[in-house]
Amino acid sequence: MNNDIFEKYKNEMLRMYNSVHKSEAVPTVTTPEAPPQTTLPENSQSGRLLGVVTSFNSLYPVQNARVTVFRGEYENMNVIDSDKTDQSGKTKVFLLPTPDKDLSMSPDLAETPYAVYNMAVESDGFLTNIHLNIPVFSGITSIQRSNLILDQDQTGNEPQIFDEGQKYNL
């Protein structure tokens, strides 16, 4: 890959970012690390969810974004937990209740063998992202990426809604 093209693209993105935020600050680019590992008992009925928040097509991490894990409708949410992102755009690892993983071993599933959560991502200067139906499996760390889009008009338009749900045939 030609490094000149990459540098040109990066400089153009920085120019656009700075023109919107009216500052000369250059975002820090960090290399993603593996999610922190939390040990769960072998028969645990908990799963983990890690939020990763970026901007400009996942090019830059967004620090201090408010990430809220919830159930129910966005307008009337039942908040489970919340956190702010660190300098690499990551939240803490949310520990969440899930159905027993032994449910996935049965060919005749009476109930879904994973839990479903929603996540709201908000940060000043960006449109809000709402991720619905995020599957969280027992004993597994799910990673939910959220790429924020600049709010060009600074009007706080309607949130961007993403449905992450699909049926998993286990």
Query: How many domains does the chain contain in total?
Result: 1
Does residue 11 lie in a domain region?
no
Question: Residue 94 belongs to what domain range?
Answer: 32-163
**29/103 Cα distance (integer angstroms):** 41
Question: What pLDDT, in 10s, does the model give residues 111-120?
Answer: 778 899 999 9
Question: What pLDDT, in 10s, does the model give residues 53-63?
Answer: 999 888 899 99
Distances (CA, A) of 124 to 24, 65, 76, 153: 17, 8, 22, 12
Does residue 61 lie in a domain region?
yes
CATH number at residue 88: 2.60.40.1120
**140/40 Cα distance (integer angstroms):** 9
Does residue 58 lie in a domain region?
yes
Q: What is the pTM of this model?
A: 0.69
**14/27 Cα distance (integer angstroms):** 8
